[in-house]
Amino acid sequence: MADDLSELTGVGATTIEKLHKAGYYNFMSIATASPATIADAVGLSEAKTRGMVQDARTKVQLGFNTGIEVEVKREKIARIPLYFKDFDAIIGGGFECGSLVEVHGGFGSGKTQLAHLLSASCQKAYPDSKVIYVDSENCFRPDRVRDFAKSLDLDGDAVLKNIHHAVATNTDHQMLLVSEVEKMIGEGMNAKLIIVDSLTSHFRSEFQGRGTLAPRQQKLNAHMHDLMRLAMVYDLVVFVTNQVQSDPGSFFGNPEKAIGGNIVAHNASTRLYVRRGQKGSRVAKLIDSPNLPDADCNYFVTQEGLKEVK
């Protein structure tokens, strides 16, 4: 939602128009940006934007808090559950709003199935909320969303109307689509979930060979920071799927390694690994979380939704 930016010192109608055009609609988006970044984006002096940023930080109380204050804030954190008991149990009752979640696994492991389910379950948890779906592999299927909506006692048409889907054709287009999300939210969209399926597909195809590793990682890092900032500023969940590659040097443990290395690992708040299990089941394993222990669950992906493995 947009704030009245005229409350900031020295900000008038012309400056507000420039800020909106650059994607700054509320105090938090300004408070979490650097004065130099805003100065470049809106054509103002850094001295003016420094005062603007400081004023915004005061308004949103972006400073130090005691541990008790942080604890009280965390008790109020909203979550998006999948409405499947076993899975919700390993993620603390649901994916935390304000965080970036990464799910990686091989082909056929069920990553996109989880993205489709989350598109529907988000709207059960937050009626009339909007879902942004950035699709880099052209795997979004409305009929599958209808299946999951039905399993959650939701109207399929209503759920699909609240999903805003776009196909990303390359890395630049993917990043551009993400940058457009802030404008959509600033104009009044009640977005609660951003899905990027998959995060690394285009990065993997466009940057081939060891010589391109550094520029690929730099670009991926910038992309993930944009996603992380959206999650934090607008209190929503960013859910990204990720591909894997086999590690031929791995003799013990899991030979599948997530694409993106430490760049992805460090930027994601919660990380899950999914794979095929026995008799057609799937296994989801929580491998990284700042507050939850490693855990896993087994489930079947059926036409009706996720089913318990008995």
pLDDT digits (tens, 9 = 90+) for 164-205: 999 999 999 999 999 999 889 988 899 999 999 999 999 999
pLDDT at 304 > cutoff 90: no
Q: Region 33-50: what's the mean pLDDT? A: 90
Per-residue confidence (pLDDT) for residue 62, from 0 to 100: 82
Distance CA 45, CA 154 (A): 51
Distance CA 292, CA 255 (A): 24
pLDDT at 16 > cutoff 80: yes
The CATH superfamily label for domain 5-59 reads: 5' to 3' exonuclease, C-terminal subdomain (1.10.150.20)
DSSP string, 198-231: -SSHHHHHHS-SGGGHHHHHHHHHHHHHHHHHHH
Per-residue confidence (pLDDT) for residue 81, from 0 to 100: 98
CATH of 75-308, one of 3.40.50.300, 1.10.510.10, 3.40.50.720, 3.40.1390.10: 3.40.50.300
Per-residue confidence (pLDDT) for residue 284, from 0 to 100: 98
Q: Region 22-44: what's the mean pLDDT? A: 90
Bridge partner residues of 239 (DSSP): 101, 195
Question: 10 versus 278: which is more confidently predicted?
Answer: 278
Q: Say which range, 17-26, 91-100, 241-250, 276-285, has the weakest mean pLDDT.
A: 241-250
Average pLDDT over the chain reads 93
Ordered by start, the domain boundaries in the chain are 5-59, 75-308
Q: Say which range, 106-115, 155-164, 250-259, 273-282, has the weakest mean pLDDT.
A: 250-259
Per-residue confidence (pLDDT) for residue 44, from 0 to 100: 86
pLDDT at 99 > cutoff 90: yes
Per-residue confidence (pLDDT) for residue 248, from 0 to 100: 66
Structure tokens at 207: 């940057």
Distance CA 228, CA 198 (A): 16
Q: Region 206-225: what's the mean pLDDT? A: 94
